[in-house]
Amino acid sequence: MFVCSCFGVTEEQIRAHAEAGACTPRQVASASKAGTDCGSCVRRIQGILGRGGCPRRTGLDQALGGRTVEPQTAPAPVPASVGPAAAPAPATVRPAVAA
Ligand code: FES
């Protein structure tokens, strides 16, 4: 059954994208274009992803006891044992100067 009639994307295809790691409607759209035209299917895609369509999300939800988590926007802190002091300094790249 089609979920996105604008691009002919089926529920099975949405689930396949979720299995491959797409856990948000935006990630599904990147993989299939579903939801990027009229947008009327986005809620159905959200529903599929929220009903166990995304294995990673389901595992995270279970681990958190039903609490929701916002995606991290900043990188996680690096432990001191593997931080910059332990790692070699990155090489400095200077832009080429036109002659
Ligand atoms: S039905 Fe999916 S973008 Fe229109």
Instruction: Give tens-digit pLDDT for 3-14.
Output: 999 999 999 999
Structural domain 2-65, CATH architecture: Orthogonal Bundle (1.10)
Give CA separation, 95 vs 7, 35, 92, 98, in Å. Answer: 44, 41, 10, 9
- Which distant-in-sequence residues (6+ apart) come within 8 Å of 89 by Cβ? none
Domain boundaries, the chain: 2-65
Atom of ligand 1 nearest to the CA of 38: 4
**Ligand 1 proximal residues by C-beta, below 6 Å:** 4-6, 34-41
Predicted pLDDT at 79: 54
Q: Tell me the average pLDDT across 13-18.
A: 93
Predicted pLDDT at 80: 56
Using the mean position of ligand 1's atoms as its centre, give its distance from the Cα of residue 8 in Å.
9
Using the mean position of ligand 1's atoms as its centre, give its distance from the Cα of residue 71 in Å.
25
Using the mean position of ligand 1's atoms as its centre, give its distance from the Cα of residue 74 in Å.
32
- Which distant-in-sequence residues (6+ apart) come within 8 Å of 44 by Cβ? 3
Instruction: Give tens-digit pLDDT for 19-60.
Output: 999 999 999 999 999 999 999 999 999 999 987 666 666 555
